[in-house]
């Protein structure tokens, strides 16, 4: 059985992708295209021509354009009308054909939700389905249409995920940021399981079951992996900071490759393993850093195999210049 190994590669990172990287991946999601005036906007993809090398290095590789990301709006307004959806889908098809891409990945964060400062409408729930239908109609059955889905009950509530599942090739569940820039409790942001006393909704196992029970077939589910940590500061020195109230929200970073021996020594950090959550974290008496270690990534990949899921994806390629995590993904799957 082939498992998908999908990496999100931001534009700035494209030139750093190596033949060895490409050989370990089945899919690359180029991040990001945007929605501007109802059409696909690719002005930020300045290294698009470099992807020709990817296909030469690995002829089986699929290269997909991801559209959206946190804070990227325009989806709700574009998707309000059939004409708007068709126009956007046609602009996606034209770009896919021009650059010989394999499909489109929609990262609308999130339908019915304006938390990221984007346009939103209660009709987004149905229009999200209709948008994906328009993309499927435009791209045809042989090109990839996928989505990135938020790791929470809100995404199930605000989409027709069972209908969406019938239209897309796969659903990439962002099983990270389950503690984030709105969270003031120090804890795991991408854990496989739940610590004793933790909220079960912050576990990958809980979230993936949620999507499966809502109608997404196992072989259309992709587990998300974070190549970065979340840092909480001003945390009481109790239980190594785990599940303690923090003096900050869970700020983005550091990247995995920044967690070096020098970083640990200079910050006076000790690394801990939470067996119940199957997750790693760092603690120095006041700062708590949740991150995915090589062992945590290995267990997520093993879990994906155990459950019969399609594979894993990660955000993002430039956050692990050591390639340690990608190597674990490749070996485990």
The closest alpha carbon to 78, from 41, 32, 29, 115, belongs to: 41
> So what's the pLDDT on residue 18?
98
Q: Using CA atoms, how far apart are residues 38 and 176, in angstroms rounded to an integer?
A: 29
How much is the mean pLDDT over the chain? Answer: 98
Q: In the predicted model, what is the mean pLDDT of residues 289-305?
A: 98
Number of H helices, E strands in the chain: 11, 14
Helix (H) or strand (E) holding 175: none
Q: Is 215 helix (H, G, I), strand (E, B) or coil?
A: coil
Please say whether the beta carbons of 173 and 221 come within 8 A: yes
Burial grade of 255 (CB within 10 A; 0-12, 13-18, 19 or more): middle
On whether the CB atoms of residues 64 and 102 are closer than 8 A, the answer is yes
What pLDDT is recorded for position 271? Answer: 98
* pLDDT tier at 199, thresholds 50, 70, 90: confident
Q: How confident is the model at residue 49 (pLDDT cuts 50, 70, 90)?
A: very high
Local structure of 302: helix, strand or coil: helix
Q: Which domains does the chain have, with CATH numbers?
A: 4-226+292-332 (3.20.20.80)
Residues in the chain: 333
**Tokens 């983005």 sit on residue:** 252
pLDDT by residue (tens digit) across 74-110? 999 999 999 999 999 999 999 999 999 999 999 999 9
What residues does 308 pair with on adjacent strands?
Answer: none
pLDDT band at 15 (very low <50, low <70, confident <90, very high): very high
- 201 falls in which pLDDT band (50, 70, 90)? confident
Dist. CA 71–CA 73, nearest whole Å: 6
Q: How far is CA 220 from CA 7, 162, 189, 203, 229, in A?
A: 17, 11, 23, 19, 27
Residue 200 banded pLDDT, cuts 50, 70, 90:
confident
Per-residue pLDDT at 275: 97
Query: Coil, strand, or helix at residue 67?
Result: strand
| SS3 assignment for 231-278 | EECCCCCCHHHCCCECCCCCEEEEEHHHCCHHHHHHCCCEEEEECCCC
Q: Count Cα atoms within 13 angstroms, Cβ side, for 207.
A: 32
Whether this model's pTM surpasses 0.85 = yes
Contacts of 217 (CB under 8 A, 6+ apart): 165
Residue 1's pLDDT band (boundaries 50, 70, 90)?
A: confident
Q: If 0-12 CB within 10 Å is exposed, 13-18 middle and 19+ buried, where does residue 207 land?
A: buried
CA distances (Å), origin 196, targets 199, 203, 231, 235, 285: 9, 12, 21, 19, 21
- DSSP conformation class of 220: G
Structure tokens that stand for 194 in this block: 């739940």
Over range 208-215, report the average pLDDT.
Answer: 98
């Amino acid at each position: 059985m082939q498992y998908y190994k999908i990496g999100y590669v931001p534009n700035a990172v494209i030139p750093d992708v190596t033949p060895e990287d490409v050989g370990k991946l089945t899919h690359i999601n180029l991040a990001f295209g945007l929605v501007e005036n109802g059409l696909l906007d690719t002005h930020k993809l300045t290294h698009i021509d470099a992807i020709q090398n990817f296909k030469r290095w690995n002829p089986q590789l699929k290269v997909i354009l991801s559209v959206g990301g946190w804070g990227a709006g325009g989806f709700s307004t574009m998707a309000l009308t059939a004409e708007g959806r068709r126009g956007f889908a046609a602009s996606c098809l034209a770009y896919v054909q021009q650059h010989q891409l394999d499909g489109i990945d929609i990262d609308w964060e999130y339908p019915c939700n304006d938390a990221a400062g984007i346009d939103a409408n209660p009709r987004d729930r149905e229009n999200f389905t209709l948008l994906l239908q328009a993309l499927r109609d435009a791209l045809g059955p042989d090109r990839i249409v996928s989505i990135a889905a938020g790791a929470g009950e809100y995404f199930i509530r605000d989409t027709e995920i069972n209908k969406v599942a019938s239209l897309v090739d796969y659903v990439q569940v962002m099983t990270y940021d389950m503690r984030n820039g709105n969270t003031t409790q120090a804890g795991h942001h991408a854990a496989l399981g739940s610590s004793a006393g933790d909220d079960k909704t912050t576990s990958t196992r809980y979230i993936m079951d949620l999507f499966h029970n809502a109608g997404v077939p196992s072989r259309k589910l992709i587990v998300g992996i974070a190549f970065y940590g979340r840092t909480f500061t001003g945390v009481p020195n109790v239980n190594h900071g785990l599940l303690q109230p923090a003096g900050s929200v869970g700020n983005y970073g550091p990247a995995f490759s920044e967690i070096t021996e020098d970083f640990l020594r200079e910050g006076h950090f000790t690394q801990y393993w939470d067996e119940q959550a199957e997750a790693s974290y760092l603690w120095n008496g006041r700062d708590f850093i949740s991150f995915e270690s090589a062992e945590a990534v290995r267990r997520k990949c093993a879990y994906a195999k155990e459950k019969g899921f399609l594979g894993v994806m990660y955000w993002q390629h430039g956050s692990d210049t050591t390639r340690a995590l990608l190597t674990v993904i490749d070996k485990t799957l």
